[in-house]
Homo-oligomer: A and B are copies of this chain.
Amino acid sequence: MHQKNSWLLPDGIEETLPTEARHLENLRSQLLTTFTNWGYQLVIPPFIDFLDSLLVGSGHDLELQTFKVTDQVSGEMLGIRADMTPQVARIDAHNLKQQCPTRLCYAGTVLHSRGNPLESTRSPMQIGAELYGHSGKESDVEVISLMLEMLAQTGLKNVHLDIGHVGIYRELSAQAGLTAAEEAELFDVLQRKARPELQELMTTYAIDAALKPLFLKLPELNGGEAILAAAMQLFSTANNAVQQALTELIAVAEALKTRFPNLTISFDLAELRGYHYHTGIVFAAFVPAVGKEIARGGRYDNIGASFGRARPATGFSADLKLLSALSKQTFLYPQRQAIFAPCVDDADLNEKIRDLRANHQIVIQQLPGQIGDAQELGCTAVLELQHQHWVIKPLA
């Protein structure tokens, strides 16, 4: 075993030291409590799982990002989760089996085998909430509202929301009669917003000439509210399903404007990047200081079918490590003061220490011959015997 540089960590894999860890733990606890207060119940999906079930309904991207190992017990291929949402959908579909709306939340590490040019980490801590069993706009509005509440609690200002609807593209593709291969090819081109390639595809595909301008204009349909009217006009020749998707998008945007009058909202009807299993409204949140989205989500109605029960589904997730780093710039949880206790074997002292700790005070007991004093250990007070009583004396 070579032990040179055995303290090095793999690229994109971090360890979190006390100050950051305590902040992250406080934020984790605060956000999970908020999710609970909105009726979202905590679940803990497994870290490792059969590869097939991890990748249900998801695209090639997620498969590439998934670490794979052979199970020595079953001989089957296992994967380390790269996304917890499909696991939570399985819990809803297979384990809980409720007919009524089911609200679940979670927080845990996921691993990305290849990393991502936009992300510095390969081990984000995914935190999120999912709402199953309701297909109306109200459930989309609820999860977006909860996502915005999460970001507000993280201390983030000037949050910007991007919103789209993958149904517009998918229904348009269905109307055009694209093969699965063509749909995937076109999806890829639109994800990359590669317009020359898009034009080339439109000349080669044998589709209704009336639909071609609709595909060609899709990448232009991004910006403020004005694009919604443009889209309504453009899609007046498209089928009902396309128009219905657009109507849903407009309705969700209207509801959000009422709830969050100061929120900046942009629309992007060709925004498909990273939405593997999504079927409807999709959204992402941004803040000025960060050059990528800080939370994202959307509707993914068909995923539960693979686990035995199709249910409407919508939800969001974020990287808690990123949120924690951002929130540390805005606010710090109050630093707890520590009290130093001398190394004396005295029953009264032991009782005093026990009482203080039970009352949520930090007490660090001296060890005989230790290096460093109370201050080096970060203590701001000491326990001292005065008139046969142990009292707390602040350090100068």
- Nearest chain B residue, comparing its CB with the CB of A44: B16
A7 to chain B, nearest CB (A): 4
Which listed residue (B123, B138, B370) contacts A48, Cβ 8 A?
B123
A38–B52 Cα gap in the complex (Å)? 45
> Does B56 contact A3, Cβ atoms closer than 8 Å?
yes
> Does B370 contact A101, Cβ atoms closer than 8 Å?
yes
Q: Take A17-B91, A136-B367 as given contacts and tell me if A100 and B49 are in contact as well, using a CB distance cutoff of 8 Å.
A: no
A39 to chain B, nearest CB (A): 4
A148 to chain B, nearest CB (A): 12
- Which of A64-72, A198-206, A210-218, A245-253 makes up part of the contact surface? A64-72
> Does A3 contact B33, Cβ atoms closer than 8 Å?
no
> Does A80 contact B80, Cβ atoms closer than 8 Å?
yes
Q: Which residues on the B side are within 8 Å of A71 (C-beta)?
A: 10-11, 113
- Which of A160-168, A189-197, A235-243, A371-379 makes up part of the contact surface? A371-379
> Does B367 contact A134, Cβ atoms closer than 8 Å?
yes
**Interface presence of A393 (CB below 8 A):** no
Q: Which residues on the B side are within 8 Å of A101 (C-beta)?
A: 367, 370-372, 377
> Does A38 contact B357, Cβ atoms closer than 8 Å?
yes
Q: Take A18-B104, A43-B18, A50-B10 as given contacts and tell me if A371 and B99 are in contact as well, using a CB distance cutoff of 8 Å.
A: yes
> Does A74 contact B11, Cβ atoms closer than 8 Å?
yes
A178 to chain B, nearest CB (A): 22
> Does A48 contact B67, Cβ atoms closer than 8 Å?
yes
- Which of A19-27, A224-232, A269-277, A382-390 makes up part of the contact surface? A19-27
Q: Which residues on the B side are within 8 Å of A306 (C-beta)?
A: 3, 6
- Highest count of chain B CB atoms <10 Å: which of A3, A96, A377: A3
> Does A6 contact B307, Cβ atoms closer than 8 Å?
yes
Q: Which residues on the B side are within 8 Å of A367 (C-beta)?
A: 101, 134, 136, 138-139, 142
> Does B44 contact A6, Cβ atoms closer than 8 Å?
no
16 A-B contacts (beta carbon < 8 Å): A1-B56, A6-B307, A8-B50, A11-B73, A12-B73, A33-B360, A36-B336, A48-B67, A48-B111, A48-B123, A71-B113, A80-B80, A99-B372, A142-B367, A255-B345, A259-B350
Q: Take A46-B15, A363-B38, A363-B39 as given contacts and tell me if A10 and B74 are in contact as well, using a CB distance cutoff of 8 Å.
A: yes
**Interface presence of A369 (CB below 8 A):** yes
> Does A50 contact B372, Cβ atoms closer than 8 Å?
no
Q: Which residues on the B side are within 8 Å of A42 (C-beta)?
A: 18, 21-22, 25
A377–B47 Cα gap in the complex (Å)? 28
Q: Take A11-B74, A72-B114, A350-B259 as given contacts and tell me if A377 and B56 are in contact as well, using a CB distance cutoff of 8 Å.
A: no
**Interface presence of A184 (CB below 8 A):** no
**Interface presence of A172 (CB below 8 A):** no
**Interface presence of A219 (CB below 8 A):** no
A229 to chain B, nearest CB (A): 24
What 0/1 readout, one digit per residue, does chain A (74-116) give for beta carbons within 8 Å of chain B? 1010101000000100110111101111011000110101110
> Does A100 contact B15, Cβ atoms closer than 8 Å?
no
> Does A372 contact B113, Cβ atoms closer than 8 Å?
no
> Does B370 contact A100, Cβ atoms closer than 8 Å?
yes
A362 to chain B, nearest CB (A): 5
> Does A136 contact B369, Cβ atoms closer than 8 Å?
yes
Q: Take A22-B41, A74-B10, A307-B6 as given contacts and tell me if A357 and B134 are in contact as well, using a CB distance cutoff of 8 Å.
A: no
- In the complex, given contacts A7-B94, A138-B367, what are 19 additional A-B residue pairs having Cβ atoms less than 8 angstroms apart? A3-B56, A6-B53, A6-B90, A7-B93, A9-B49, A10-B48, A10-B50, A10-B73, A10-B78, A15-B95, A21-B43, A22-B41, A22-B42, A24-B44, A38-B357, A47-B109, A48-B111, A133-B371, A138-B368
